[in-house]
Amino acid sequence: MAVNINNAFVGTPPIDGGVYFNAPVGTPLPTSATEMPDDAFIDHGAIGPDGFNVQPTRTSNTEKMFGGGDWVDTQDDYTEEVTLTFLEDDNEGVIDTIYGEDNVVITPGAEGTQKTIYHTKQRLPIKSHVIRAMDGDKYKTYVIPRGRITTAEKTADVHTASTKYNVTIKAFPYVLEDADGEDREVYVVEYRDDGRPAEETRETANAEAGATQ
CATH 2.30.110 at 13-62+73-211, yes or no: yes
Each of the 213 residues of the chain gets a pLDDT tens digit; together they read 789 998 999 999 998 879 999 999 999 999 999 999 999 999 999 999 999 999 999 999 999 999 999 999 888 899 999 999 999 999 999 999 999 999 999 999 888 899 999 999 999 999 999 999 999 999 999 999 999 999 999 999 999 999 999 999 999 999 988 888 899 999 999 999 999 887 765 566 566 656 555
Q: Model's pTM, two decimal places?
A: 0.86
The span from the CA of 100 to the CA of 176, in Å, is 27
Residue-level pLDDT at 204: 61
The span from the CA of 186 to the CA of 181, in Å, is 14
pLDDT one-digit tens code per residue, 14-31: 988 799 999 999 999 999
User: Which residue ranges make up each domain of the chain?
Assistant: 13-62+73-211
Cα dihedral 132/136/138/143 (nearest 10): 0
Residue-level pLDDT at 180: 86
Residue-level pLDDT at 212: 53
The span from the CA of 212 to the CA of 210, in Å, is 5
Residue-level pLDDT at 210: 61
Is there a contact between 23 and 36 (Cβ–Cβ < 8 Å)?
no
| Tally of CA atoms within 13 A in the half-sphere of 128 that contains its CB | 20
Residue-level pLDDT at 110: 85
Residue-level pLDDT at 87: 97
Residue-level pLDDT at 15: 85
